[in-house]
Structure 1
Amino acid sequence: MTSENSYWVRLDKALSIEIERGFINIQGEQYQFSEYLRLSFSQSLSDKTPNSKKQRWLQFAERYASYSNLTLPQRKQLIIETRQFLHKLRQDFEISVKRSDYRQPKTSTLINIESILSDELNLEQYLHALQGIGPRKIELLEKIGLETIRDLLFYYPRDYINYARQVTISNIKEGETVTIIGRVKRCNFFTSSKNKKLSILELVVQDHTGEIKLNRFFSGNRFTNKGWQEKQKRQYIRSTVIAVSGLVKQNRYGLTLDNLEIEVLDDFNSSIESWNIGRILPVYSLTEGIDNNLIRKIIISNLKSAKTILDPLPILLKSKYDLIDLKDALINIHFPTSLDFLERARRRLIFDEFFYLQLGFLKRRQERKVLKTINSFTPNRYLTHQFNKLLPFELTKSQRRVINEIIKDLDSLQSMNRLLQGDVGSGKTIVAIFAILTTLESGYQVALMAPTEVLAEQHYNKIVLYFNQLYLSVELLTGSTKKSKRNEIYRQLLTGELPLLVGTHALIQEPIKFKKLGLVIIDEQHRFGVEQRTRLLNKGKSPHVLSMTATPIPRTLALTLHGDLDISQIDELPPGRKAIETKVLIGNQKQKAYELINQEVIQGRQAYIVFPMIEESEKLDIKAAIEEHKKLSKEIFPSFSIGLLHGRLNALEKNKVLNDFRDNKYQIMVSTTVIEVGVDIPNATVMLIENAERFGLSQLHQLRGRVGRSSFSSYCFLITSTKTPNTLEKLNVLEQSQDGFFISEMDLKLRGPGTILGTRQSGLPDFALASLADNKEILELSKLIAEKIISSDIKLNSFPLLKRELQYRSMRL
């Protein structure tokens, strides 16, 4: 390919247009979208491209040949994969172009593993036992989690300064970090006339291509001593060969090096001894009082400890999948000898982060499958048949498929542990009712737990409509439930009179005892801690578990976060639902949204206006909902009634405000994100979100889902005062797509998993290196290898080192 970069630009533009038009396989001037992509991917890449990437490039040509036969979700997934692949390929290409301009400086070996004497090295040795580190530094190191030598080795750099690129003086470019080697042409050392505490070393260095003027600054009285300055000058006499590393910057004299490091060499062929010059220099996350030089120093002095680490991964697997040894990975993640070694080290350590998580998930999953449930389900299908007749609509194909998956689980001898995920309005509650009725037909009870009273009440109100017609009892238990009612619920659960209890965290309290709990449903499960979920499960004897989420999770994230669950996905919406017209507006365009709200309210509809927080914040400069509520009531919509909902209201106050809005006592609701999930008011047709740039895409999609719940046309306005390309590109995703799975995939790419799901609550570790957005291939490799190992030995007795490492990591988590 003669101009790979231009190809990628054109391909990315074609993909963007296809997304904007709704994945319809648009017709261009010459080719249809899929044909253009097929032809583009059929052209060969340059010889410098790795074979694995060439192969995948050609595979895309095959996949786009059948694009017209793919379903809408399949088309979206293909385009997501394509954009991610092109992004990585383009990065690799730019790096390879840059590398060709450099050669690597000759540096001495920091640590030679093979030459280390067989000292007794203890990875669990505490840092305070090491020499040269005072008590105050030890205390600061402990603040960032560094207590033992093992902690040091696994404290990966957050970034690198790449001085391992030697260039001639004529080839330096602004913004790059480089190393130059040349002869001193002139040297001067003097104290600044403007600042008597500032001394300056001034060097002019030349090589065969040119010369450069360099300054190194020394702040402090001790550097103004003339004798000391003369001693420094004697190091850099004319024709002395020096190596200099730094960041290329422009000043009034031309290009120079900033933050420079200097080492005197014997000659041009000498090795650089300093570990700050001519190398790829690690940069660590720090705390006040700790600098990078200290971290580098103690890691270098203890890097030989890596020799004592026994690699748990079997040799044959490492060889087959090109994974370097663990000790080599640890050495090269801290002080890589080249960019290639750094990449190989990262790949191995990223693999480990994914692998042990997958190994733990799969081990638990297989162990659960071996255990037989004590709950014997023999449903008579009467209730589910009657419920199906009550429904005023046809179930979607996706709903029927998921219901069959759940009922098959309930009919089996193994406890179900399934996650049901679907977009806003996809009909998850209806699916859950089928699971509930199947359980009740077999004589068991059900508990449904939701994270908020608003959401719990929403579920209760939906279910009770059907249960009344089926002559079934259901109760709601929240923090607002009166004591007398609570006691009656406790009694009915214990006797078995009450088949279904819907509630909040109140369901896990000690007085709650079920006679025969067979199914636990946890809605928005990522909002509960692991311990809270476990306490509810312990109310029964190995009950079936159905978790639900209205926050669609991309497949890559689901593989990692829910590796021990079976996953069901409702990937289509009920027919007839209108798309919500979404528009990004810059602050001064907001009047257009106000005009539309006015028109809708006059026609009897209602609107939401949402703010990120409830009080003024000088730091974030966000308008407060409380203050804005006053302004909207008095100045913008004085003839309408406007409600106010925020997190400081107690449950009773929130319910009253929502009920009044539901009854149209309020035409407009000013709210914070407490209305994100569970609020279902079909008459609301407009959603206006202030400071939309403060939200993630998935959260914006959830908020948008509060409208569009009727046959009326609905609208969503995303208001932002920021005009930066990144912000507008992010918000435009909402304009382009109504698909929650596609949106969450983009959100994952832009923000990472933690901010989408709150992974701390879910028991997912913080990855030091791994990225769920960028390391999908390594994630799937780790899952493949974990599956092979677990299938051969579920107890890991044949892999004692793996077993021990898994136990250690589980304990740390």
Structure 2
Amino acid sequence: MLNLDTPIEKLVGVGTKNLPRLKRLGLETVKDLLWHFPHRYEDYRRQVPAEEIREPGEIVSLRGEVVKIKTTSLWRRRSVTEAFIQDHSGVVRAVWFNQPYLENSLPLQTVVSLSGKTALDKHGLYLSNPHHEKLQADFVHTSRLVPIYPETEGLTSKYLRFLIKPLLHSFGTPSFASPSPKALEGHSKASEGKSEGQALFDSLPQYILEKYNFPPLAAAIKKIHFPDSPEEAEQARERMAFEELFLFQLRSIANRRQALQLKAPVIKFEPETVKQLVNSLPFELTDDQKVAAFEILKDLEKKYPMNRLLNGDVGSGKTIVALMAAYQTVRQQKQVAFMAPTEILAQQHFDSVKMLLSRIGNYELGIRVGLLTGSEAQCSELHDGHVIRKKLSKKTMQEKIAKGEVDLLIGTHAVIQKDVKFKNLALVVIDEQHRFGVEQRMKLLRNYESGIMNQESEKSIIHNSKFLIPHLLSMTATPIPRTLALTIYGDLDISLIKEKPKNRKKIVTKVVSKKDEIQAYRFLKQEIKAGRQVFVICPRIETQTIDNRLETMAKRKKEGELAIVYKQSTMSSLWAEVKAVTTEYEKLSQKVFPHLKIAMLHGKMKPKEKEKIMSAFKNGFYDILVSTSVVEVGVDIPNASVMLIENAERFGLAQLHQFRGRVGRAEHQSYCLLVNGGNSRSENTRLKALEKCDDGFQLAEEDLKLRGPGEFTGHKQSGLPDLAMASLTNLELIKKARLEAKLLLKEDPGLSNYPPLKKQLDQFQKIRHFE
């Protein structure tokens, strides 16, 4: 008997040929198939008599009898199958290409249902490659709203419908195992329903289904796959999205409560210590920086671990705020770890921290700063009254860290290797936290006994009061819209820095049409002649097929048709990125600027190769760097004054704003040129918004509406399923899910009255930001 965990290879119709294709879509079990929802629907409900088909390009459905069918062989093993279908009003011609088997599967006198688009040739109007099925009570491929699924090469939506439809009958009856409102009041358990087929247990409490008029799980899944109307599909989608958001909110609230049970080192707030650092700075802090710093410093005083995200716009000065927390921590004889996503960024932080701390005589105070990356280890120490940078072996550095002889360790992934053990780690700062995977974040935060890393289980940490969990401060330059703050980052406290430093010049932004690109190149040459450097960014996606799909889907979404974004193959996207950068590099280096020094950067390069090129660019060896989004968040290149972005219409506003923030880091006037390679007026209007607005948070909210949440989170990093991701623009649904989660946990903190919900919650894929 089938169950949700049954492997798909056990299903009829799944052979060795299609199995790997299904797995490429992440479909390995029956549950995966049932939860593989359509991204849109073809509307074949309109039944048209044969005599009323008059225009090419129409999408129509009709039913009739096959009165003639013939297959003609063409060259190179190609064929055309032509059938004549008669209904009460006349005859229509249907044509299929390279499907000769249809002559046997649709013999004369077969009554069929056809759905498809009309076309015109020298013989007149016909249906081109229509979907077809024999007349039956419940249509799958024709005469209805037909689901179109996310596909992969060699796997069609028709095949997926063939697999999914029978499963809806097998799992078609709901089974309630959650209390009704009356049962809730009496704290009793609801009885399980019975069905002829396999039951789908509904994890949502029955009182929530009734309150919001949501269909039961089994009905919702059926209506998502084969709805009778768009409204029915939308209602089912909203119910499924609510469940995913509800589970996410429950997990988020539980995480916060769990954090209160953990113990952390107490870092006393010492205003005079902080003033010492602030008064030594060569600039004045903004009001936002002061507020954020105060929030963080007060969190460090608490007995449970801080879990705060410092969200600052590009160039808003996040690092100095983090340094204020680090400075106070190390002044109280505790250690700080500062993680950056790349070696060159870690080196940059190391240099800037040393410079800032040296202004207040930090070495006389005994503060020792270390750098640990995959390729080197350094430590700044005081010798004979002079600060020197001393290169160390990794083993020596590890020994110093374990003995507590490094107060502030800055590094990359090397910081989380098993051989790195701290003596008294009290604060972890992670720069651009979304660049690190869940497991990497876990490694740095877990398993401390008396401050020393060991290999105990995570569960033992939570229940053992001897463990001191370090405080966590994450930083990101990607402005987070409000709905994401309530969901994906719901278990974090968030500090915002929106203000820019007062002496920072505004970057001049200009949208440039493709025909005016020559003028843009002249301007680049002029800036380079003046001693400046230039970034040229290429879009990551180059392939025409993906572009067409996205354009079509955006159009359908605008027209009100249900759709969610295509998932793309990471590998194909990377190779497309390589092609785009290589093409642009060859054009600029060989044709446009043959006498200038130009380098290129893309995602297929090895990390060390990227680091080498970025370092050379920073040191002025190259005039132009042609790159992809790998420079979206990266090193400061003070001498770079121009950011030129090719085909800017392919990027989201938030990402374009991130690119723009790579320039304008010095006293020179800087520029951002957005080359619009499309012909759409709406795209040009969208890009024009960047000319007027330099508020990353405002642009992020707009981008969320236009392009969805993937721009900010990355699907895998977010931990959210498809429908919840697609619903992150629906603030009202998020508020409902959050409210119900709070009310339920207040009434039943352990979910003891809701075993199916508790089980579902335990299995739910989530962000595990605080481990």
Q: TM-score, normalised by structure 2?
A: 0.76
**Inter-CA distance 178–774: structure 2 relative to 1 (3 Å threshold):** farther
Counterparts in 2 of 1:424-463, with a 5 A limit?
424-463=314-353
Q: In the alignment, is residue 558 of structure 1 matched against residue 558 of structure 2?
A: no
CA contact (8 A) 1:480 1:651 kept: no
In 2, distance between residues paired with 1:749 and 1:291?
30
What secondary structure is seen at the aligned counterpart in 1 of 2:370? strand
Q: In the alignment, is residue 336 of structure 1 matched against residue 227 of structure 2?
A: yes
In 1, distance between residues paired with 2:440 and 2:661?
28
* Aligned residue in 2 for 1:63: none
In 1, distance between residues paired with 2:621 and 2:82?
73
Counterparts in 2 of 1:209-224, with a 5 A limit?
213-217=92-96
In 2, distance between residues paired with 1:336 and 1:381?
63
CA contact (8 A) 2:581 2:628 kept: no
Q: In the alignment, is residue 299 of structure 1 matched against residue 164 of structure 2?
A: yes
* Aligned residue in 2 for 1:279: 144
Counterparts in 2 of 1:564-713, with a 5 A limit?
564-611=491-538, 620=579, 622-624=581-583, 627=586, 630-631=589-590, 636=593, 638=595, 668-669=624-625, 673-693=629-649, 695-713=651-669
| Paired-residue identity, % | 39
Q: Deviations over 1:643-682 (max 9, x none)?
A: 6667788878777766665565655555555443332233
In 2, distance between residues paired with 1:531 and 1:222?
51
The one of 253, 265, 283 equivalent to 1:362 is: 253
1:744 Cα shift? 3.1
1:436 Cα shift? 1.2
Q: Deviations over 1:744-770 (max 9, x none)?
A: 33444444434544342x252441574
Q: Deviations over 1:223-267 (max 9, x none)?
A: 779xx99x61x457xxxxx865333445567665444467888xx
CA contact (8 A) 1:425 1:573 kept: yes
Q: Deviations over 1:360-381 (max 9, x none)?
A: 2221122112x14241222333
**Inter-CA distance 292–497: structure 2 relative to 1 (3 Å threshold):** closer
**Inter-CA distance 291–630: structure 2 relative to 1 (3 Å threshold):** closer
* Residue identity opposite 2:590 in structure 1: K
In 2, distance between residues paired with 1:502 and 1:141?
43
The one of 420, 424, 434 equivalent to 1:512 is: 420
What secondary structure is seen at the aligned counterpart in 2 of 1:561? coil
Q: In the alignment, is residue 753 of structure 1 matched against residue 706 of structure 2?
A: no
Q: Deviations over 1:397-418 (max 9, x none)?
A: 2112211211221122221001
* Residue identity opposite 1:202 in structure 2: F
CA contact (8 A) 1:376 1:413 kept: yes
What secondary structure is seen at the aligned counterpart in 1 of 2:719? coil
* Aligned residue in 2 for 1:523: 431
In 2, distance between residues paired with 1:573 and 1:618?
32
What secondary structure is seen at the aligned counterpart in 2 of 1:597? helix
The one of 45, 48, 51 equivalent to 1:164 is: 45
In 2, distance between residues paired with 1:648 and 1:152?
33
Gapped regions of structure 2 (runs ≥ 5) = 174-198, 378-390, 452-467, 543-573
**Inter-CA distance 811–590: structure 2 relative to 1 (3 Å threshold):** closer
1:530 Cα shift? 0.9
* Aligned residue in 2 for 1:201: 83
In 1, distance between residues paired with 2:306 and 2:121?
67
Counterparts in 2 of 1:757-776, with a 5 A limit?
757-760=713-716, 762=717, 764-767=719-722, 770-772=725-727, 774-776=729-731
* Aligned residue in 2 for 1:778: 733
**Inter-CA distance 192–643: structure 2 relative to 1 (3 Å threshold):** closer
Q: Deviations over 1:90-121 (max 9, x none)?
A: xxxxxxxxxxxxxxxxxxxxxxxxxxxxxx76
1:546 Cα shift? 0.2
1:151 Cα shift? 3.2
What secondary structure is seen at the aligned counterpart in 2 of 1:376? coil
* Aligned residue in 2 for 1:77: none
In 2, distance between residues paired with 1:393 and 1:121?
67
The one of 496, 500, 503 equivalent to 2:408 is: 500
1:794 Cα shift? 3.1
Which stretch shows the higher mean deviation, 743-752 or 320-329? 743-752
The one of 710, 716, 730 equivalent to 2:672 is: 716
In 2, distance between residues paired with 1:659 and 1:278?
61
* Aligned residue in 1 for 2:382: none
What secondary structure is seen at the aligned counterpart in 2 of 1:310? strand
CA contact (8 A) 1:696 1:756 kept: no
Q: Deviations over 1:455-485 (max 9, x none)?
A: 1122122211121133233222222325735
**Inter-CA distance 368–140: structure 2 relative to 1 (3 Å threshold):** same
Q: How many residues align?
A: 670
* Residue identity opposite 1:682 in structure 2: P
CA contact (8 A) 2:728 2:734 kept: no
* Aligned residue in 2 for 1:245: 115
* Residue identity opposite 1:801 in structure 2: P
CA contact (8 A) 2:643 2:673 kept: yes
**Inter-CA distance 349–653: structure 2 relative to 1 (3 Å threshold):** closer
Q: Deviations over 1:293-317 (max 9, x none)?
A: 4433443323232311121111111
Q: In the alignment, is residue 394 of structure 1 matched against residue 260 of structure 2?
A: no
Q: In the alignment, is residue 149 of structure 1 matched against residue 51 of structure 2?
A: no
In 1, distance between residues paired with 2:578 and 2:597?
32
The one of 179, 184, 190 equivalent to 2:61 is: 179
CA contact (8 A) 2:37 2:149 kept: yes
Q: Which has the higher contact order (CA 8 A, sep 6+)?
A: 2
1:321 Cα shift? 1.9
In 1, distance between residues paired with 2:625 and 2:503?
27
CA contact (8 A) 2:73 2:79 kept: no
* Residue identity opposite 2:358 in structure 1: N
1:591 Cα shift? 2.9
Q: Deviations over 1:623-652 (max 9, x none)?
A: 4465456437xx6374x6666667788878
In 1, distance between residues paired with 2:490 and 2:606?
37
**Inter-CA distance 328–719: structure 2 relative to 1 (3 Å threshold):** same
* Residue identity opposite 2:279 in structure 1: K
What secondary structure is seen at the aligned counterpart in 2 of 1:333? helix
1:715 Cα shift? 0.9
What secondary structure is seen at the aligned counterpart in 1 of 2:116? strand
CA contact (8 A) 1:557 1:772 kept: no
CA contact (8 A) 1:582 1:734 kept: yes
Q: In the alignment, is residue 806 of structure 1 matched against residue 701 of structure 2?
A: no
In 2, distance between residues paired with 1:577 and 1:487?
42
CA contact (8 A) 1:378 1:441 kept: no
Q: TM-score, normalised by structure 1?
A: 0.73
RMSD: 3.9
The structure number with the bigger radius of gyration is 1
CA contact (8 A) 1:192 1:198 kept: yes
In 2, distance between residues paired with 1:347 and 1:801?
21
Gapped regions of structure 1 (runs ≥ 5) = 1-119, 237-241, 266-270
**Inter-CA distance 388–771: structure 2 relative to 1 (3 Å threshold):** same
* Aligned residue in 1 for 2:565: none
1:388 Cα shift? 1.6
In 2, distance between residues paired with 1:571 and 1:374?
30
* Residue identity opposite 2:343 in structure 1: E
1:579 Cα shift? 2.0
**Inter-CA distance 166–440: structure 2 relative to 1 (3 Å threshold):** same
What secondary structure is seen at the aligned counterpart in 2 of 1:433? helix
The one of 322, 325, 330 equivalent to 2:213 is: 322
